[in-house]
Amino acid sequence: MRPVEAFALPLGQGWVLCQPDIDRLALLNATGKIVWDLLGNGLGQQEIATAFAEHFGLPAKDALENITTVIGELEQTGFLACSVEKAGAQSSILCAPENFPAVEAGPELNCGTFQFGDRRVEMHSNLADVGSDYFARFRHRAVEGAVDADVLAFSIGPRKYRLTLQGEVVADASSLAELIGRAHELILSWEHPECEFLAYFHAAAVSRGERSVLLPAVCGTGKSTLTAFLVAHDFAYLGDDSIAMTRLGWSLKPLPTCLSLKSGSWPILTALYPQLPYLPKVYCHGREARYVEPRQARYAGSAPSVILFPRYAKSGDIELRALAPLETMMRLIDAETDLHRPATITTLAEFVQFVEQTPAYDLVYSDLSDATAAIEEWLDDTA
């Protein structure tokens, strides 16, 4: 058992690990970092547990349980590899190998042609979860009758999914989220060919004047609903799906999508978006939504003045709680943040610097007007 190739940098009271081949990020506390270093020095699980028991005066059983937990977490995140005997030779494999259940391919469909930057791209897919409904979020970029478009195809691959451009493999992915993420990175590179990116966020973003607000969140937290409400109240729309950040100046470059409004938000937002009931329903990843082309749309923003992690609560007062950099990094990782490939120790250091220097808060709210007022007040007070 040994650590895979990775590098680590300190952040607050913890450490950030990055695996460069797939740009996976993880956090370690002080104990985890010691275990990581000892594994790198060739010690086994029992040896590390014994050392911990002696050094910290712990019962041997407790020390072994703690070390087993830490190593298990490293295995699950793919940061450990095991050596196994194969026909008398040593071979390295991941300790926690992924299973790739078979996915049935349907007929290949032409899902439309779209303009991204100077590139026209015809989307093909034989995946049930990536069809015309999914690509409807780019309908404002649709190009009719294009004959010179490149073909980007979503299909079944050896790791479960595959992405190809003009017949050349762009990525093999073990999950649909990974596949779509790689496609988004490609689209963003076409939209902003002059940019060198540092990171990609699963996030929304808005701006007021020259100040941008980054809203990373996992699905189901009300991110898009809050974004739509902010845009209806004089914020400019940047995006609500995938946001790239440049290395130079940390500028935000959003994926050019419509607002994706889930069915639960329709009663709340119809008064602000009267066209909402008349838009076609789409079904994406098992959820019913409508795509709204927002007013005041922009496709570039300044470096974020603040990172807000929004979460809707059914009741209670609004809460805006400042986060330490280590907490910020933890939430960004939970929200599926990736570094641009290939990651290096330099780009990880730049990203850690961004996290350390950018104010971040948990935003818990039960009323959209209160949330908007809190964001406006923060921007005014820090202007």
Residue range 175-219, pLDDT digits in tens? 888 899 999 999 999 999 999 999 999 999 999 988 999 999 887
Longest dimension (CA), the chain: 74
pLDDT at 295: 76
For residue 94, give both structure tokens.
């991941």
pLDDT at 377: 96
Mean pLDDT across the chain: 88
- The alpha carbon of residue 358 and the mean position of all alpha carbons in its chain are separated, in whole angstroms, by 18
Quote helix, strand, coil % in the chain, to nearest 5: 30, 35, 35
Hey, where are the domains in the chain? 2-94, 109-191, 197-381
For residue 25, give both structure tokens.
């990020």
Higher pLDDT, 5 or 367: 367
Q: CATH 3.30.190: does it fit domain 197-381?
A: no
pLDDT at 30: 87
**For residue 97, is pLDDT > 80?**
no
Residue range 143-156, pLDDT digits in tens? 987 678 999 999 99
Q: Give the DSSP H or E segment for 169.
A: strand 168-173
What is the signed CA dihedral for 62, 68, 70, 75, rounded to 10 degrees? -170
Confidence of residue 1 (pLDDT cuts 50, 70, 90): low
Residue with tokens 């009267």: 274
Confidence of residue 84 (pLDDT cuts 50, 70, 90): very low
Please tell me the distance from the alpha carbon of residue 258 to that of residue 293, in angstroms, as a whole number: 5
Instruction: Please state the φ and ψ torsions of residue 299, each to the nearest 5 degrees.
Output: -120, 25
Burial group, residue 320, by CB count within 10 angstroms (0-12, 13-18, 19+): middle
Say which CATH topology domain 2-94 has. Arc Repressor Mutant, subunit A (1.10.10)
Most confident of 94-98, 182-186, 287-291, 296-300: 182-186
Non-local (6+) Cβ contacts of 166 within 8 A are 150, 151
pLDDT at 159: 82
Residue 303 Cα distances to 136, 215, 228, 379, 383, angstroms: 29, 13, 21, 14, 14
